[in-house]
Amino acid sequence: MKRAGAREDAGLRTPWLALSGFLLPALVMYAAFTAYPVARTFWNAFHKVLPNGNETWVGFANLRAILNNDPTFWKAVGNTLAWALVSPVLEVSLGLLLALALYARIPFARFFRIAWFTPVLISYVVVGILWMWIYNYDWGVANELLRLVGLDAWTRPWLGNPATALPALIFVTTWMWTGFNMVVLLAALSSLPSEVLEAAELDNCGWGRKLWFVIVPLVRPTILNLIVLSFIGKMKIFDLVWITTHGGPLWSTETVSTYVYKRAFDWSTFDLGYPSAIAAIWFVFVLAGVLILTSLLRSRERLEF
């Protein structure tokens, strides 16, 4: 990123008055509605917090209870991690293939680009309801198509079956985000120097090899960003699950977010401390996940050169 001349007028005194005028509104909003709540969640995690505002110190009791004997929490962690690890692979690889197809100068590229991007603009609430209908046992498109091609045995209530509910929801997020990944990758591909690709063409290497050894390394920074973005998005997924399955059947689609919500606002447990502790643990998980992913993918990049 070029920062032409930014922050170089150091010869002048810093105009503190103007500067604080520019920064204060944002910092106040940030402090009141982001920083303070984050700190308060960590505070809650070590307390029993009753709805009447009564807070009692419980030390590490919440954290111990969550980590040692809360099977629902671990079930939710398993589901969310599965989602967060499978989705990036599906979305980025499919997105890359579609982007390459568009990059090969096919007709109607602009139309395709706009059509593929649409799912990501629609709210999870609308998407969730639409896909509940698509997965409907009696008349949903999924089962209708299976019946059409004679695979009646495969028809099932996709979201009502503990074995298929989570994969079915992962499929929905893939439907939603692949187009987004494709558009980002297309932008990255278009900014590549064309000589490199032409050189690969002349060297007569096949499509697969060209893809893997030339194109993927060149757009690796973008791929890395997309993987991290998709990972973060799935680690916090709530809306889609809440609309479609509420975490069921049999906890099969319970995510950490829905579990936190249930413990805080849905079940009459009357304690905001315990769900805050889950949120705090999960916050550390997400940060660690992002750091691990970034360092893994970056070190591979370094090894290649």
Partner 1 sequence: MNVSAEALYVEPTLRSARRPLAGHIARSLLLILLAGYTAFSAGPFLWLASMSLRTTSEISANHYALPSILHWEKFPAAWFGSSYGTYFLNSLEVVVAAVIVLTLIGAMAAFAFARYRFRMNRVLYFVIFSTIIFPPQITIISLFQVLVDYGLFNSLVGLTLVYIAFQLPLTVYILESFFARVPQDLFDAARMDGYSDGAIFWRVMLPIGLPAIATTVILNFILLWNEFLYAVVLIADDAKRTLPLGIQKFMGDQLEDIGMISTGMMISVIPVVILYVFFSEKLIQGMTAGAVK
Least distance between partner 1 and beta carbon 250 (Å): 21
DSSP one-letter code for 16: H
Asked if residue 32 binds partner 1 (CB under 8 A), the reply is: yes
| Comparison of 65 and 243: residue with beta carbon closer to partner 1 | 243
Asked if residue 141 binds partner 1 (CB under 8 A), the reply is: yes
Asked if residue 26 binds partner 1 (CB under 8 A), the reply is: yes
| Comparison of 71 and 107: residue with beta carbon closer to partner 1 | 107
**Using CA atoms, how far apart are residues 278 and 282, in angstroms rounded to an integer?**
6
Asked if residue 293 binds partner 1 (CB under 8 A), the reply is: no
**Using CA atoms, how far apart are residues 131 and 245, in angstroms rounded to an integer?**
11
Asked if residue 147 binds partner 1 (CB under 8 A), the reply is: no
Q: Cα–Cα distances in Å, from 108 out to 103, 105, 113?
A: 12, 9, 9
Asked if residue 303 binds partner 1 (CB under 8 A), the reply is: no
> Under rule CB under 8 A, which residues in 214-233 are in contact with partner 1?
221-222, 225-226, 229, 232
Question: 281, 74 in Cβ contact below 8 A?
Answer: no
- Residue from 133, 154, 213, 270 that binds partner 1 (CB under 8 A)? 133
CB atoms within 10 A of CB 287: 10
**Using CA atoms, how far apart are residues 141 and 32, in angstroms rounded to an integer?**
47
Least distance between partner 1 and beta carbon 284 (Å): 10
Radius of gyration of the chain (CA): 24
| Comparison of 163 and 242: residue with beta carbon closer to partner 1 | 242
- Residue from 63, 82, 86, 112 that binds partner 1 (CB under 8 A)? 112
Binding string to partner 1 for residues 243 to 282, with x set by CB under 8 A, is what?
x------------xx--xx--xx------x--xx-xxx-x
Which residues have CB under 8 Å from 176's CB, separation 6+?
119, 120, 122, 127
Question: 176, 127 in Cβ contact below 8 A?
Answer: yes
Least distance between partner 1 and beta carbon 134 (Å): 7
- Residue from 18, 149, 202, 303 that binds partner 1 (CB under 8 A)? 18
Question: 175, 119 in Cβ contact below 8 A?
Answer: yes
Least distance between partner 1 and beta carbon 160 (Å): 14
Tokens 């809360």 belong to residue:
70
Phi–psi pair at 48, nearest 5 degrees: -95, 120
| Listed ranges 14-22, 63-71, 151-159, 194-202: which one lies at the site for partner 1 (CB under 8 A) | 14-22
Asked if residue 169 binds partner 1 (CB under 8 A), the reply is: no
- Residue from 89, 129, 216, 288 that binds partner 1 (CB under 8 A)? 129
> Under rule CB under 8 A, which residues in 64-93 are in contact with partner 1?
none
**Per-residue burial over 209-236, b = 16 or more CB atoms within 10 Å of its CB, e = otherwise:** ebeeebbeebbbebbbebbbbbbebbbe
For partner 1, how many residues bind (rule: CB under 8 A)?
Answer: 100
| Comparison of 38 and 216: residue with beta carbon closer to partner 1 | 38
